[in-house]
């Protein structure tokens, strides 16, 4: 959702967590700064897919964490506080920078 919003709408910034379908839309160009977060242990999202997105859009900030899919959702067994905290901190700084708040 964040990727498609960034490529099809006009937000000031977009942040996405473990977006598995982004590679299907890698040819679309973001209209705003984008930050993405992924887990290295996520079996649903191949690293090669995200590498393709990054190759097409090197300006997109992509971060990898030693974590599984859903690492930022504390309602999941895969929740990983040591990955969720830096991802949240990075996201908040990114949004403050681009939203001016």
Query: Can you give the pLDDT at residue 101?
Result: 61
Phi, psi of 34 (to 5 degrees): -130, 140
Q: What is the CATH number of domain 2-23+31-99?
A: 3.40.50.1820
In terms of residues, how long is the chain? 101
Query: Can you give the pLDDT at residue 62?
Result: 98
- What residue spans define the domains of the chain? 2-23+31-99
β strands within the chain, DSSP E: 14-17, 34-39, 61-65
pLDDT tens track of the chain, all 101 residues?
999 999 999 999 999 999 999 999 999 999 999 999 999 999 999 999 999 999 999 999 999 999 999 999 999 989 999 999 999 999 999 999 999 76
Query: Can you give the pLDDT at residue 58?
Result: 97
């Amino acid at each position: 959702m964040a990727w498609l919003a960034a490529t099809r709408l006009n937000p000031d910034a977009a942040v996405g967590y473990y977006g598995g379908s982004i590679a299907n839309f890698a040819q679309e160009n973001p209209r705003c700064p984008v930050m993405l977060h992924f887990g290295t242990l996520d079996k649903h999202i191949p690293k090669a897919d995200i590498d393709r997105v990054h190759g097409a859009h090197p300006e997109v900030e992509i971060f990898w964490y030693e974590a599984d899919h859903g690492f930022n959702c504390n309602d999941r067994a895969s929740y990983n506080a040591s990955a969720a905290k830096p991802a949240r901190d990075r996201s908040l700084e990114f949004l403050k920078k681009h939203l001016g708040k």
